[in-house]
């Protein structure tokens, strides 16, 4: 994630989006009148995948919620992040291709688990 979001401003933007999303999940450590956690660290945001529409942050067990509550994810639409990416990162070119309506590049798809591009480059 450090290579994808290099500046402090970029990292802070991503951290705030994730905290806000987790605060809306009634079973996360970030929700309720007296939440168990109030702030993520950048280390919490290290595991991610990108599908054709989202950056999906995956949180480690017990980091933002109970283990029995299942995996905790935050799905952020790529359009919200487009102006915040570090454009020199190699993943940026894949994201641009994924946004293209004629192609589909995914490292994780809930229905198919993995799909390749639907057209040739």
Residue-level pLDDT at 67: 86
The answer to whether residue 24 is domain-embedded is: yes
Task: Specify the number of domains making up the chain.
Answer: 1
The answer to whether residue 113 is domain-embedded is: no
**CATH number of domain containing 69:** 3.90.640
**Element at 100 (helix H, strand E):** none
The answer to whether residue 87 scores a pLDDT higher than 50 is yes
The answer to whether residue 110 is domain-embedded is: no
The more confident residue out of 8 and 108 is 8
What residues make up the domain containing 22?
A: 8-99
Phi then psi for residue 77, to 5 deg, are -55, 135
The answer to whether residue 117 is domain-embedded is: no
The answer to whether residue 29 is domain-embedded is: yes
**Rounded alpha-carbon distances, angstroms, from residue 84 to 20, 58, 59, 76, 109:** 17, 19, 21, 12, 24
Percent of the chain with pLDDT over 90: 32
Residue-level pLDDT at 15: 93
The answer to whether residue 52 is domain-embedded is: yes
Residue-level pLDDT at 99: 58
Strands across the sheet containing 72-77: 48-50, 54-59, 72-77
Residue-level pLDDT at 114: 41
């Amino acid at each position: 994630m450090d290579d994808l979001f290099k500046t402090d401003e970029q990292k802070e933007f991503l951290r705030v989006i994730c905290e806000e999303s987790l605060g809306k999940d009634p079973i996360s450590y970030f929700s309720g009148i007296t939440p168990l956690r109030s702030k993520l660290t950048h280390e919490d945001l290290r595991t991610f995948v990108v599908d054709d529409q989202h950056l999906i942050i995956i949180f480690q067990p017990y980091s933002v919620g109970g283990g029995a509550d299942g995996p905790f994810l935050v799905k952020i639409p790529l359009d919200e992040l487009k102006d915040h990416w570090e454009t020199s990162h190699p993943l940026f070119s894949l994201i641009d291709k994924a946004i293209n309506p004629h192609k589909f590049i995914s490292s994780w798809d809930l229905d198919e688990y993995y799909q390749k591009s639907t057209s040739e480059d």
